[in-house]
Structure 1
Amino acid sequence: MNVTVRLAQQPEADALLGRSPLAVLVGMLLDQQVPMEWAFSGPYSIAHRMGGDDLDAHAIAAQDPEAFAALLSEKPAVHRYPGSMAKRIQQLCAYLVHEYDGDAEALWRDAGSGRELLRRLQALPGYGKQKAQILTALLGKQYGVTPDGWREAAGAYGDDGSRRSVADITGPETLAEVRAFKQEAKAAAKAAGPQGKTGTKAGPKAKKTT
């Protein structure tokens, strides 16, 4: 895998995201309750602090939990909630080790359909349906992972020309468009009252991912 993305808006972090399937999974996991650029720069920060140029699922899963949480908590922190996210990242990596021998790309390498891809992503620790659909859209739109039916599996996030999630971020302009869409959606949900709110719960409060 070697593609050009601009999710973190930082050259080194984006270069890692362009070549590392595990970095993409971790960045997507971190993408809640923090700005998108902060979340997707997280994989690079973790790799750098672990003394490498990529992430390794076996190495992360084997880390002492307290030491790994401390690593994410170093300033600048990798996430607003570094302790809880450290636990989730280790759970994700342990799952990948157990189910895919640590090979993150195996999640989509032989997925025969968009429905199967979505099922595999939704089974990941820390991933609900919404996050799995957004990642399905991101993989299809920017990473060339396009099994039959991937757009349908991704729901509205798979629509061409949409500006509703990280799947549609290709630079500063599209980032601004996605943020505007999210602000409008949030305002509409607030105006609709409690019954108008949607999204999955993750972390201390419920918030939508990008």
Structure 2
Amino acid sequence: MTFSLPIDAEANALLDRDPLAVVIGLTLDQQITMEKAFTSPWVLVQRLGHAPTAAELADFDSEALIAIFAQPPALHRFPKAMATRVQEVCRVLVDRYDGDAAALWRDAPDGAELFTRIHALPGFGKQKAQILVALLGKQYGVQPPGWREAAGGYGEVDAYRSVADIVDEESLAKVRAYKKQAKAEARAAGQ
């Protein structure tokens, strides 16, 4: 399946061919739009002049990486924190998976193990880990036994709850409507 977020075609193509770009996109997917989060790996490639490896980013001079993230337009609204987070994620990929982002999921025997591996990444709480499990299953065909259960509600067919379900403008609108409703319900429950 081809990654088909309603973003720049070259950004989608990078997400199709580069597992690290997917991990970086999901790392950045907080407090900014999904489109921005998943376009930022392509912008990073443009700024560096090549697609970086996890090892390269893990060893990158921290201040220089922050400067690259902060260069207008910034890759995230919190460029310092997110450059640091991306670097931390890349260090885990280097330490545990020999720098191969796809190794994070390639040989996962089941959905529970896949979730555990992803949940161990810096900044990947339960929800974000479930979203990546769902994204891998729905968009990339990474479907070890039990992956839908490990993804929770995000793994359901036609859930329209996250980036895992976005394939066009219509599905993006459905995900946005779900998120808006969930926020409204959370606010109402908090009163």
Q: TM-score, normalised by structure 2?
A: 0.98
Q: Say whether the 8 Å CA contact 1:72–1:83 is kept in structure 2.
A: yes
Paired letter, 1:105: A
Cα shift at 1:44: 0.7
Q: Say whether the 8 Å CA contact 2:6–2:167 is kept in structure 1.
A: no
Deviations 1:98-117 (A, max 9, x none): 11110000011100000000
The residue number in structure 1 matching 2:190 is 193
The residue number in structure 1 matching 2:137 is 140
CA distance in 2, matches of 1:19, 1:152: 26
Quote the RMSD (CA, aligned, Å): 1.0
DSSP 3-state at the match of 2:75: coil
Aligned residue runs from structure 1 range 52-201, under 5 A: 52=50, 54-193=51-190
The residue number in structure 1 matching 2:26 is 28
Greater shift after overlay, 68-77 or 8-17? 8-17
Q: Summarize the Cα distance change of 1:8–1:85 in structure 2 as closer, same or farther, 3 Å threshold.
A: farther
Cα shift at 1:55: 2.8
CA distance in 1, matches of 2:25, 2:85: 12
Paired letter, 1:48: Q
CA distance in 1, matches of 2:91, 2:116: 18
Cα shift at 1:15: 0.4
| Of 14, 17, 28, the match for 1:16 | 14
CA distance in 1, matches of 2:45, 2:96: 22
Deviations 1:141-168 (A, max 9, x none): 0100000000000000000011111110
Q: TM-score, normalised by structure 1?
A: 0.89
Paired letter, 2:47: R
Paired letter, 1:78: L
Cα shift at 1:8: 5.5
CA distance in 1, matches of 2:183, 2:171: 18
* Structure 2 unaligned regions, length at least 5: none
DSSP 3-state at the match of 2:151: helix
Q: How many residues align?
A: 191
Give structure 1 regions of 4+ aligned residues with deviation exceeding 4 angstroms. none
CA distance in 2, matches of 1:30, 1:114: 23
Cα shift at 1:7: 2.6
Paired letter, 2:149: E
Q: Say whether the 8 Å CA contact 2:58–2:87 is kept in structure 1.
A: yes
CA distance in 2, matches of 1:7, 1:68: 26
Q: Summarize the Cα distance change of 1:8–1:65 in structure 2 as closer, same or farther, 3 Å threshold.
A: farther
| Of 38, 41, 44, the match for 1:43 | 41
* Structure 1 unaligned regions, length at least 5: 195-210
